[in-house]
């Protein structure tokens, strides 16, 4: 009985992810470069604790993005999600201190307004982490009231997860990791995966990428 219930739950989750993937047009109309080697074991693994304030649909989208990075990195990137941070509960603050966290924020928060001032623009999301010590916790923030449609939400999460995977911005317009105007990008390009391999010491030809 428990096994049947678990399978039904997994099936509902899969259907939800497929619906979201269809709604954001995940590279269905693009050409894809596929690697010619088998899928690797994870090399960059991130255990990420998410804010329980995310809606079920938002959680499904975030989970789909995590799977997208695993797919395009040919298994090298693994983002393991659990939504267990309830910031109305002090225990969540204690947990968040030493863990990688994903926070659902609003443009009215003091933190987001300060980041807006520093960037000189309305930020959609950002990652705070140490560039020199990968053992320290990472903080990712999504500004929910600025992510008004499915495509924008998907693209911003995809971009910010790139930063969590230690990627820098790419200088070329039309790439996922360009510093701005990436809101309609649904998959990493060759230049994005080149940056991924630069950050994580892998071979570009072993990666997957989309060809716009």
Residue-wise pLDDT tens digits, 60-104: 999 999 999 999 999 999 999 999 999 877 776 777 789 999 999
Residue-wise pLDDT tens digits, 111-168: 999 999 999 999 999 999 998 999 999 999 999 999 989 999 999 999 999 999 999 9
| Dihedral angle computed from the Cα positions of residues 178, 183, 187 and 191, in that order, rounded to the nearest 10 degrees | -10
Q: What's the angle, vertex CA 22, arms to CA 164 and CA 178, rounded to 5?
A: 35
Q: Which domain holds residue 56?
A: 2-211
Residues 87/93, Cβ–Cβ less than 8 Å: yes
Please count the structural domains in the chain: 1
* CATH number, domain with residue 151: 3.40.390.10
């Amino acid at each position: 009985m428990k096994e049947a219930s678990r399978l039904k739950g997994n099936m509902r989750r899969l259907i939800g992810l497929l619906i979201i993937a269809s709604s954001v047009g995940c590279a269905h109309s693009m050409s894809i470069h596929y690697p010619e080697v088998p899928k690797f074991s994870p090399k960059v693994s991130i255990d990420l604790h998410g804010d329980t304030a995310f809606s079920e649909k938002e959680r499904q989208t975030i989970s789909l993005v995590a799977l997208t990075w695993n797919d395009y990195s040919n298994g090298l990137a693994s983002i393991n999600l659990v939504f267990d941070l309830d910031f109305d509960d002090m225990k969540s603050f204690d947990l968040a201190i030493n863990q990688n966290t994903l926070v659902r924020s609003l443009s009215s928060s003091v933190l987001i307004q300060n980041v807006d001032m520093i960037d000189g623009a309305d930020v959609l999301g950002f990652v705070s982490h140490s560039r020199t010590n990968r053992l320290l916790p990472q903080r990712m923030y999504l500004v929910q009231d600025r992510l008004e449609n499915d495509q924008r939400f998907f693209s911003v999460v995809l971009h910010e997860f790139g930063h969590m995977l230690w990627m820098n911005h790419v200088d070329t317009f039309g790439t996922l990791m360009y510093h701005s105007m990436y809101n309609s990008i649904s998959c990493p390009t060759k230049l994005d995966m080149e940056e991924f391999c630069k950050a994580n010491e892998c071979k570009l030809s072993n990666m997957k990428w989309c060809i716009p």
